[in-house]
Amino acid sequence: MLHAEAQTAAINKIRKSLLSASDTTRVLLLEKLSSELKGSRPDTALLLAEEGLALAEDIDYKKGEAVCLNRMGTILRSTGNYPLAFKKLIEALKINEEIHNEDGRMRNLGNIGNIYADQHDYYEALNYSFQEKRIAEKVKDEDKLLLTILGIGDTYEKVGKLDSARIITNQAYEFAKKLDDMASIGTAFNNLGNIYSKMNEPDTALKYYKQSLVYYGEDEGEGICESSLGMAKIFQDKGKYDSALFYAKRAVAVAQNNFPKYLLDASIFLTGYYKNRGNSDSALFYQGSIITANDSLFNQEKTRQIYNMTFNEKNRQQQLEMERKRKEEERRDNIQLMGIATVIISVLLAFLLLRKKKTNAKTVEVLGVIGLLMLFEFVSLILHPYIEEITHHAPVMMMLLLVGIAAVLVPFHHYLEKLVKKKLAHKIKATQSF
């Protein structure tokens, strides 16, 4: 009740702020209002996010576009439209990469990982979750780090790594308590219920499921569905069939509000429940719900679209990684070139400063040769890419151009050497005259 009152107050405050907001602020407020309504009224939430996106595009507000696309992706995912959700999230990710918005990029990665988890591709789900975690730690975003840790623990549970899942989820619970995040505490309890259920500790699992429902607000439809169905399964195993039916029907009632993934799970449970009791009419009814929900989530066309988009996104990420490595190598090369230039300048300075000291001609000659070789190599390193382009990698032409460079540098070197020797001779003669 308190959560519902707080949510209503938050919605009213946002609506009031919308009346006098500037365009950029209005975009963000529309997304925020969409977020508040995504659990209880997903259709309205999607329309609000679309309105925010249209306004952001009109005023060329890139961050606002990414924020609204991300929100649309999360709503579409919850309603089972995975291909379109994936598409919106990738669009948001590209914008955030372009404007170097790490916070937005982190959210996109986490939500893409959630889609892979829903599709039972847990390897990719963990891949995106760990990318998200690295950014959250880098930017010190505790709220997002909490959600990431919860997601990783949930994925470990799904792949059967129960000890790791339990340890990580307990860490997330302590973190959620520290941040006073009621919804995340509810999620941690729900996930612990799933873990202990798989560990064949039904009483402990039941305790956590019940606690999760205390912390979930009315807008946390997905969490309510999962906890309710978890309780239904335990009650059925205990022979408490009335309680099992109550919680399973509760899951169906909430899931019908545009949560096809949970509608499918609850319908599968109720089909088996009624078949075991000889109620073929009710079993047939829920079997129809299974077909509808399954087609909504996993039909061949949607699977193909997800596969194609995954393939394209992996290619894009590979290209980005190659470009990142290229820039890193270029940066290292530039540092090396700067180091070489520094050494050359130091040698030349030493070469020139010798005029002020009593130095023999042999030393000058040796330093001159070293300086010439370093200068030649430095110039060659800088000009090499251009020489390759001009000569099309033809060895003979490249050699001729390098010889030409040497032909310019050698006379210049001899001129400097003669100049310094002349200065030294003059200095020695002047000294002897005293």
User: What tens digit of pLDDT does each residue of 193-235 get?
Assistant: 999 999 999 999 999 999 999 998 766 788 899 999 999 999 9
Q: What would you report as the CA-atom Rg of the chain, rounded to the nearest whole angstrom?
A: 34
| Complete DSSP assignment for 272-322 | HHHHHTT-HHHHHHHHHHHHHHHHHHH-HHHHHHHHHHHHHHHHHHHHHHH
How many residues comprise the chain?
434
Residue 180: predicted pLDDT: 92
Q: Which has more pLDDT, 276 or 364?
A: 276
Residue 7: predicted pLDDT: 66
If phi > 0 it is left, if psi is from -120 to 50 it is alpha, else beta; for residue 360 that is beta
Which of 222-226, 251-255, 259-263, 389-393 is predicted least confidently? 389-393
Cα–Cα distance measured from residue 285 to residue 273, given in angstroms and rounded to the nearest whole number? 12
How confident is the model over 152-181, as a mean pLDDT? 94
Give the N- to C-terminal CA distance of the chain in Å, as an integer.
Answer: 104
| Complete DSSP assignment for 319-341 | HHHHHHHHHHHHHHHHHHHHHHH
Residue 40: predicted pLDDT: 75
User: Could you tell me the two tokens for 47?
Assistant: 């329309």
Using 50, 70 and 90 to split pLDDT, how confident is the model at 2?
Answer: very low
Express as a percent the part of the chain with pLDDT over 90.
Answer: 44
Which of 125-129, 219-223, 266-270, 371-375 is predicted least confidently? 371-375
Whether the CB-CB separation of 129 and 151 falls below 8 Å is answered with yes
The number of beta carbons lying within 10 Å of the beta carbon of residue 414 is 12
Using 50, 70 and 90 to split pLDDT, how confident is the model at 340?
Answer: low
pLDDT in tens, 27-62: 999 999 999 888 778 889 999 999 999 999 999 999
- Please name the residues in contact with 29: beta carbons below 8 A apart, sequence gap of 6 or more: 14, 17, 18, 21
Q: What is the DSSP letter of 240?
A: -
Residue 51: predicted pLDDT: 95
- Please name the residues in contact with 274: beta carbons below 8 A apart, sequence gap of 6 or more: 280, 282, 283, 286
pTM over cut 0.85: no
Residue 344: predicted pLDDT: 60
Residue 326: predicted pLDDT: 75
Identify the three-state secondary structure at position 9: helix
- Give, in degrees to the nearest 5, the angle at Cα 372 between 367 and 377: 130
Q: Which has more pLDDT, 373 or 143?
A: 143
Cα–Cα distance measured from residue 30 to residue 126, given in angstroms and rounded to the nearest whole number? 31
User: Could you tell me the two tokens for 76?
Assistant: 């579409």
Q: Which has more pLDDT, 339 or 243?
A: 243
- How much is the mean pLDDT over the chain? 82
Q: Which has more pLDDT, 283 or 332?
A: 283
Residue 153: predicted pLDDT: 95
pLDDT in tens, 61-96: 999 999 999 999 999 988 888 888 999 999 999 999
Q: Which has more pLDDT, 416 or 92?
A: 92
- Please name the residues in contact with 241: beta carbons below 8 A apart, sequence gap of 6 or more: 235, 273, 277
Provide, for the chain, the percentages of residues in helix, strand and coil under a 3-state DSSP scheme, each rounded to the nearest 5: 85, 0, 15
Which residue's entry shows tokens 């790594």? Answer: 161
Say whether pLDDT at 402 is over 80.
Answer: no
Residue 404: predicted pLDDT: 80
Say whether pLDDT at 237 is over 90.
Answer: yes
Say whether pLDDT at 302 is over 80.
Answer: no
